[in-house]
Each structure stands twice: as structure tokens, then as C-alpha cells.
Amino acid sequence: MGGLTVLKLASNVIRATRRNCISADHKPEAKFYSRSSKTDSFYVNDHKKMLHQLPIYASGEIVRGFGRGSKELGIPTANLALDVVKSLPESLHTGVYYGWSNVNNGEVYKMVLSVGWNPFYNNKEKSVETHMLHKFDCDLYGQTLKICIVGYLRPEKNFDSLDDLIKVIKSDIEEAKTLLDKPENRKLQENPFFSDKISKC
Ligand code: ADP
Ligand code: RBF
Ligand code: MG
């Protein structure tokens, strides 16, 4: 399971090549605090700090989840291994993001990303799931997914119906397509991270 994790926070490049291992350079400034324990203005500032850390780069093995993405939503998501999820900075809040991703150093595609507990399904384990805006002909389990998290779209929400969840995800996808076409976001698609050697030691 132990996949390579590579993170870049602002100007710090962090490489973790072992389970749950993050280099000493990694000092997340902000931690997540729930609204109940802190004031709204604290929460807003904390959120702003998190946005300043983007883009964040990460990679790891694609593992199996519950299989709902393709079967129930028609929107498959490549789930990152749990050790990678746990090694991401705490300051990366739960929510929906957009960015770039590739598989086994292949072509880099636009993506949308869900980070959290999927309130509609009330998952017990936090997941980091990437839906790439590309049609793949085969499954990708066991391969290495690289992601560059570029921007934040919205918090995770619960919904009254599966149809409502699907509608909102589809509108996330449309928003992501537009945002990623901005020149400053488009240039991240070319980042050498996506072609760096994959090491699984
Ligand atoms: P799981 O719950 O196991 O993650 P999903 O139903 O979410 O299953 O489907 C995800 C799997 O579908 C991925 O792991 C990958 O193998 C495959 N897949 C096919 N196309 C895509 C895509 N465009 N984006 C992400 N995963 C895809
Ligand atoms: N799950 C939720 O419960 N609430 C959400 O708001 C939510 N937003 C998502 C947005 C995107 C772009 C994606 C790809 C997934 C989202 N999910 C959300 C996760 C979804 O429930 C999950 O991918 C499926 O259950 C398959 O694992
Ligand atoms: Mg999935």
C-alpha cells in the first residue's frame, strides 16, 4: 500500500517516500478547527491561509473504495491509499477542489477532487478521490496517481437525493473546466512533477 507521496507547499518541496513519512520541512501553519470551537473570523482566516498553500502536489497508489462512483453516480473517482490521505497536510480542509492529474506519468488531465467523509454516505474513513476529465478504457487500480490541487470550489455537503449530489458534481466539473483554462492554472499542467521518476521505496 505504501505509495510515494510528494507534496509542495508554497516554496517548500516535501518528499515522503515511506508510509506516513513527511520531511522535516513540512510545517503546516494552519490546523483545522471546527466552527464550534473557534469564532467565524478565525475559521475564515484559517481557510484563507489554506488557500495560500495551493497548489499542493501529492501522489500515491490508486486503491479500491466502495465502487459507488461509477455504479451509483456515473462519476468514477480514483481513491488514494489511506497512508497518503493521512500524510496530507492537516491544513488541507475537507471540501471539493479542482486541479490537474495523471496516472503512471501519462498525459495530464483536468480533474475535480473530493476530500472528506462524503456526508451523503456518512463514510467512517476520510477519502481523497479524484475524478479525471478523461475517459479511460481500463481500470487504474494499483497504478500511481499524481495530483496537483490548484483551487478550492466548495465545502462537502449532504443532499436530499442522489440526483441532487450528481447535479452539483456536474456543475463542479463545468466550473473546474473553466477555471483550469486560466493561463496561470494552465501552466501548472506542464509542471515537471508530472514526469518526475516514480519511486515506491
Ligand atoms: P472505487 O470506489 O473503487 O474508487 P469508483 O466507482 O469510484 O470505485 O471507480 C473508480 C475507478 O474507476 C478508479 O480507481 C479507476 O480505476 C477507474 N476510472 C475510470 N475512469 C476514471 C476517471 N475518469 N477518473 C477516475 N477514475 C477512473
Ligand atoms: N460526497 C458528498 O457526500 N458530498 C459532496 O458534496 C460531494 N461532492 C463531491 C464533489 C466531487 C467533484 C466529487 C468527485 C465527489 C464528491 N463527493 C461528495 C463524493 C462522492 O460521494 C463519492 O465520490 C462517491 O461516493 C464515490 O466514492
Ligand atoms: Mg472512487
Q: Cell triple for residue 74?
A: 456515473
Higher-confidence residue: 86 or 26?
Answer: 86
Positions annotated as catalytic residues are 129
Question: How far is residue 165's CA from residue 123's CA, in Å, rounded to a whole number?
Answer: 15
- Among 25, 118, 112, 110, CA closest to 68: 118
- Whole-number average pLDDT of the chain: 83
Atom number, ligand 1, closest to the C-alpha of residue 79: 4
Q: What is the per-residue pLDDT across 49-60, written as a single tens digit (0 to 9) for each?
A: 888 999 999 999
Whose CA is closest to atom 27 on ligand 1? 76
Q: Is the pLDDT of residue 35 over 50?
A: no
188 CA from centroid of ligand 2 (Å): 24
Q: What residues form DSSP beta bridges with 6?
A: 15
Q: What is the per-residue pLDDT across 69-100, written as a single tens digit (0 to 9) for each?
A: 999 999 999 999 999 999 998 889 999 999 99
79 CA from centroid of ligand 2 (Å): 11
Question: How far is residue 191's CA from residue 188's CA, in Å, rounded to a whole number?
Answer: 5
Q: What's the one-letter identity of residue 92?
A: L
Name the least confident of 40-54, 101-115, 141-155. 40-54
- Helix, strand, coil percentages (3-state) for the chain, rounded to 5, are 25, 25, 45
- The residues lining ligand 1, judged by C-beta closer than 6 Å to any ligand atom, are 62, 64-71, 76-79, 130-132, 134, 136, 139-141
Q: Helical H runs in 53-117? A: 68, 82-87
Q: Is the pLDDT of residue 29 over 50?
A: no
Whose CA is closest to atom 12 on ligand 1? 76
pTM of the predicted protein model: 0.86
Biggest alpha carbon distance in the chain? 48
Q: Cell triple for residue 199?
A: 519511486
- The residues lining ligand 2, judged by C-beta closer than 6 Å to any ligand atom, are 65, 68-69, 73, 75, 77, 96, 112, 114, 118-121, 129, 131, 156-157, 165, 169, 172
Residues contacting 21, CB < 8 A, separation 6+: 5, 87
Rg over alpha carbons for the chain, rounded to the nearest Å, is 16
| Of 61, 63, 68, 70, best ligand 1 pocket probe by most atoms within 8 Å of the beta carbon | 70
201 pLDDT band, cuts 50/70/90, is low
Is 55:188 a contact under the CB 8 Å cutoff? yes
Whose CA is closest to atom 22 on ligand 1? 132
Is 85:126 a contact under the CB 8 Å cutoff? yes
Q: What's the one-letter identity of residue 43?
A: Y
Q: Is the pLDDT of residue 175 over 60?
A: yes
Question: How far is residue 137's CA from residue 94's CA, in Å, rounded to a whole number?
Answer: 30
